[in-house]
Amino acid sequence: MSISSRSENLARCRVLVVEDEYFLADDVAQALSAHGAEVVGPVGTLSEAEALARSRPLDVALLDINLRGELSYSVVDILRDRNVSVVFTTGYAETVIPASYAHVPIWQKSTEIDRQMDDLIALLREKCHLHRP
């Protein structure tokens, strides 16, 4: 795929990135930007994530579940009330996620982000179009 066609995959898609691992957050944000997304964040604390979830126009949020010992489920609740799609980015197994959040898609973290990025972009593209007229 050419750079110009890749940059349009997520055009005008506003993606909140919530991740407390700096290098992973930066890699994800750069990859999303390269695909045309408007990245909000990244942020690495629960309080920052909640503030942005309440205040910014968003289409999709990528949420790490565990942010320095605090769980991000409250952010999911805020975003659900705003009709914003959420994807968990985690190393956790699906079995440890509470049943009330079982509907949230999961993107398993990996050090091989490039290999997984196409799958993530496809998922985000689908989520973003849910909110487009």
d(CA 109, CA 125): 19
Distance between alpha carbon 46 and the CA centroid of its chain, in Å? 14
Q: How confident is the model at residue 92 (pLDDT cuts 50, 70, 90)?
A: confident
Q: Is the pLDDT of residue 110 over 70?
A: no
Nearest to 49 by CA among 93, 100, 10, 84: 84
SS3 state at 76:
helix
Q: How confident is the model at residue 1 (pLDDT cuts 50, 70, 90)?
A: very low
d(CA 67, CA 79): 17
Q: How confident is the model at residue 98 (pLDDT cuts 50, 70, 90)?
A: very high
d(CA 13, CA 92): 26
Q: Specify which residues 101 forms β-bridges with.
A: none
> What is the model's pLDDT at position 114?
62
Tokens coding 120: 């993530």
The CATH number covering residue 25 comes to 3.40.50.2300
CB distance 63 to 40 below 8 Å: no
pLDDT in tens, 49-89: 999 999 999 999 999 999 999 999 999 999 999 999 999 98
Tokens coding 79: 């975003």
CB distance 99 to 55 below 8 Å: no
**How many independent structural domains does the chain possess?**
1
> What is the model's pLDDT at position 11?
81
> What is the model's pLDDT at position 8?
57
The residue segments making up the domain with residue 106 are 3-129
pLDDT in tens, 4-56: 344 457 888 899 999 999 988 998 899 889 888 999 999 999 999 999 999 99
> What is the model's pLDDT at position 91?
81
User: What mean pLDDT is predicted for residues 88-101?
Assistant: 86
> What is the model's pLDDT at position 111?
54
